[in-house]
Amino acid sequence: MKQTFRLGTFRGISVGMHWSVLVIMFLIAEILARSVLPTAAPAARWTAAVLVAVLFMGSLAAHEFAHALVARRHGVRVGSITLWALGGLAELDGEPATARADLQIAGVGPLASAAAGAAFAGAWAAGHALGAPVIVTASLSWLAASNILIAVFNLLPGAPLDGGRILRALLWGRRGDRASATRSAQRAGMVLGQAMIGAGLLVLLLSSWFNGLWLAVVGWFIAGSARAEARWTDLREAAKGLRVADVMTRDPDHGWAWQPASAFVQDVAARSRQTVFPVVSVSGDPVGAVTVDRLARVPKQETGVTLADLSVPLGSDRIVGPEQPVDDLLQMAPVAGGLVAAVAADHHLLGIVTTDDLQRMMRQTGLRRGSPAPA
């Protein structure tokens, strides 16, 4: 999830939010001001509603921070925390080493939400006893109920919910096989998401269109995320034990940084089956990549444009050696035209790794195991 607004850094963890947070905060404030909070002056109602929406998003952030801090304690690096419309996302760069660590990382999130719910409930009880304004106690009551609901919802047993992670950890500890446990949790997530979509559509038709639509959207997200995680698991399993040399496209067509684009199109690109070409420097090192689409936008009469002018630069992390594990490339997004990395050694281009190469790796691994992997 890409951060639209970066909020800062906490204990070395980048914290931000997606633009959809603004939409969900507006909806929460709207519902609170018009339907939940008691009758009061409009300014007081809206001020309280906005404050409650901010506190609610803060409690979601606390949920994700709990995951992140426990993950770091178990040696899992945390890339960022991002809030978005359906909650939050702590981006973990790696997997826990043991089932116990996995269980603790997953379980602390719902525990944090339950603790927040209990804290708001305690504040509500104190405010009620002390005769606080009704608008204050109503706000605290809503925050307490919402956090407890989040804790319970996240315990549903299906990936990507925390309950799915807990299920994976328990199955992993029992079976001793993380991959098998992961697939079981992902299948449970797909079933759970489909059930929520069906229930949401039923509620939409028979009762409340808003509640039904919201339930169906959440179910769609859960099912889609579980399916995406299943593809990721298949990819990780397919890459296990393989080197970059095992999957790369060898001796690809390529161009030189100083080469005129028009000459390259005529001599190489027009007869090549590739859709992306690495660009190398005078010394033979890969320095960029250029796509067929980018080359096609250059007028034929333009003779002063070189491949260096058109190519997307390749960072040092995108230049890999043939003996490097394929697993190192799996979290890299394509640079241009499906190109993930260029393979080089001793100032010599050996090959390229594209998304097509990785998909082919999955299919071949599936065939060797007797069941073709999904595309």
Tokens 């859709």 belong to residue: 275
Q: Whole-angstrom Cα distance, residue 375 to residue 359?
A: 6
Of 104, 27, 108, give the one whose Cα is nearest residue 64: 108
What radius of gyration do the chain's Cα atoms show? 26
Give me the amino acid identity at 80: S
293 annotated ligand-binding residue: no
Cβ atoms of 20 and 85 within 8 Å: the answer is yes
- How far apart CA 137 and CA 12 sit, in angstroms, is 36
Task: Check whether 63 is labelled as a binding-site residue.
Answer: yes
Nearest-angstrom CA–CA distance, 200 and 138: 28
By three-state DSSP, how is residue 335 classified? coil
**CA angle, 320 then 322 then 328, to 5°:** 50
CA angle 240, 330, 175 (to 5 degrees): 45
Q: Which residues are identified as catalytic?
A: 64
Contacts of 286 (CB under 8 A, 6+ apart): 254, 278, 279, 280, 314, 318, 319, 342, 344, 349
- Give the DSSP letter string of 162-194: HHHHHHHHHHHHHHS-HHHHHHHHHHHHHHHHH
Judge whether 74 is annotated as a binding position: no
DSSP-assigned letters across all residues of 118-169: HHHHHHHHHHHHTT--HHHHHHHHHHHHHHHHHHHHHTSSSTTSHHHHHHHH
Q: Are 222 and 206 in contact (CB under 8 A)?
A: no
| Binding-site sequence positions for Zn(2+) | 63, 67, 162
